[in-house]
């Protein structure tokens, strides 16, 4: 895949609403965000693809949360990739960019199949929303289903939120002469507007009896949902990640009959919240004996951020719950 240089709509999420059929959605394009996430690690290509897909899902889903809230996506798996974790930090104030970070843990010796989907085994997909101090975080969990993370997210929304949801995602490496090879991603999220659903109980048509989007709509709504999915199936890779088609033009091409209403784009950036103070807080649960076991031959306690690769070197006398702080 060969893509041009930085594009105006890179690293943005564009929300929209389809007024003629009670649907909403987002269009996302990630470039620098993925570079920030992936350059910190030496992931195999299959794992890079999964992290890119998860970051794209996080951008599309996270755009709806309120200022200063945090959204986290997590996959826990018995496959070669044990875990993928992402965080989306909503802007501190209107006009600021949102921030995304992500990382994966995996068993390198088990990553042998070239397919990214083969790296995920049995497990669960979770979404957590932290509204800040003084509130209880929201958490929803569903089993992993399908062959892609996008299908897992669709199953989550159908089962846990009872919202028909569809993702069309594309991601891959950009190979342009004179420019370092890097990952790019683009996608569309389509979702029925929330409503009181009569499908709250009973089995569904999805894998293992889980609810699927088709179980949540019928009649005119079902016809509209099928029609929009038909149009979404026509989207091409270069329309989602290439330089020629702006997100606004793509929405008009796909959904012009549904009266798309487009809102302000949300910029997103790679960003991590780690700090020496947070490392100290995380070590404050350990006793002096525990800290002694963590101390290196050089007489220091070290910690690395899984998300951004930051390396912290601390005096062992200054950490742990028995440390004396000024």
Question: Among 34-43, 56-65, 316-325, which stretch is predicted with the lowest mean pLDDT?
Answer: 316-325
Give the three-state DSSP class for 12: strand
Q: Are residues 241 and 165 in the same domain?
A: yes
Residue 237 within a domain: yes
The C-alpha angle 305, 308, 310, rounded to 5 degrees, equals: 55
Residue 199 within a domain: yes
Residue 139 within a domain: yes
Tell me how many domains the chain contains.
Answer: 2
Reported as a pLDDT band with limits 50, 70 and 90, residue 324 is: low
Distance set, CA 320 to CA 67, 147, 151, 297, 313 (Å): 33, 43, 43, 18, 14
Q: Are residues 304 and 240 in the same domain?
A: no
pLDDT tens digits, 8-32? 889 999 999 999 988 999 999 999 9
Neighbour count for residue 157 (Cβ, 10 Å): 24
Q: Are residues 65 and 120 in the same domain?
A: yes
The CATH number for 307's domain is: 3.90.1280.10
Reported as a pLDDT band with limits 50, 70 and 90, residue 301 is: confident
Q: Compute the distance between CA of residue 219 and CA of residue 222 in angstroms, rounded to an integer.
A: 5
pLDDT tens digits, 74-100? 999 999 999 999 999 999 888 899 999
Q: Are residues 181 and 312 in the same domain?
A: no
Give the three-state DSSP class for 288: helix
Tokens of 310: 């930051």
pLDDT for res 200: 45
DSSP states of 18-59 as a string?
A: ETTTTEEEEEEEESHHHHHHHTTS---HHHHHHHHHHHHHHH
Q: Name the residue range of residue 295's domain.
A: 276-318
Residue 7 within a domain: no
Reported as a pLDDT band with limits 50, 70 and 90, residue 128 is: very high
For residue 203, how many C-alpha atoms fall within 13 Å in the half-sphere facing its CB?
5
Q: What average pLDDT score do residues 143-147 get?
A: 92
- H-helix or E-strand containing 301? strand 301-304
pLDDT for res 199: 46
């Amino acid at each position: 895949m060969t893509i041009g240089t930085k594009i105006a709509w890179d690293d943005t999420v564009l929300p929209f609403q389809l007024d003629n059929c009670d649907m909403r959605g987002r269009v996302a394009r990630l470039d620098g965000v993925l570079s920030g996430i992936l350059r910190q690690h030496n992931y195999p290509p299959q794992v890079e693809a999964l992290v890119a897909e998860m970051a794209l899902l996080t951008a599309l889903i996270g755009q709806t949360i309120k200022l200063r809230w945090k959204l986290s996506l997590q996959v826990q798996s018995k496959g070669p990739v044990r875990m993928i974790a992402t965080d989306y930090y909503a802007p501190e104030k209107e006009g600021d960019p949102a921030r995304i970070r992500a990382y994966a843990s995996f068993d390198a010796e088990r990553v042998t199949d070239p397919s990214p989907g083969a790296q995920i085994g049995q497990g669960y997909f979770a979404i957590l929303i932290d509204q800040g101090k003084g509130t209880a975080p929201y958490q929803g969990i569903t089993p992993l289903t399908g062959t892609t993370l996008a299908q897992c997210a669709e199953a989550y929304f159908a089962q846990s939120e009872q919202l028909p949801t569809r993702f069309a995602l594309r991601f891959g490496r950009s190979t342009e002469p004179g420019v370092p090879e890097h990952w790019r991603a683009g996608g569309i999220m389509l979702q029925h507007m929330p409503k009181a659903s009569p499908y709250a109980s009973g089995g569904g048509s999805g894998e293992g009896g889980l609810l699927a989007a088709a179980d949540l709509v019928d009649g005119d709504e079902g016809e509209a949902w099928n029609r929009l999915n038909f149009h979404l199936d026509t989207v091409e890779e270069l329309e989602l990640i290439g330089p020629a088609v702006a997100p606004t033009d793509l929405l008009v091409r796909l959904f012009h009959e549904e009266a798309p209403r487009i809102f302000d784009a949300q910029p997103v950036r790679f960003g991590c919240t780690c700090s020496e103070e947070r490392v100290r807080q995380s070590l404050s649960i350990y006793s002096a004996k525990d800290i002694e076991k963590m101390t290196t031959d050089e007489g220091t306690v070290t910690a690395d951020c899984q998300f951004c690769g930051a390396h912290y070197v601390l005096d062992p006398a200054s950490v742990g719950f028995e440390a004396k702080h000024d």
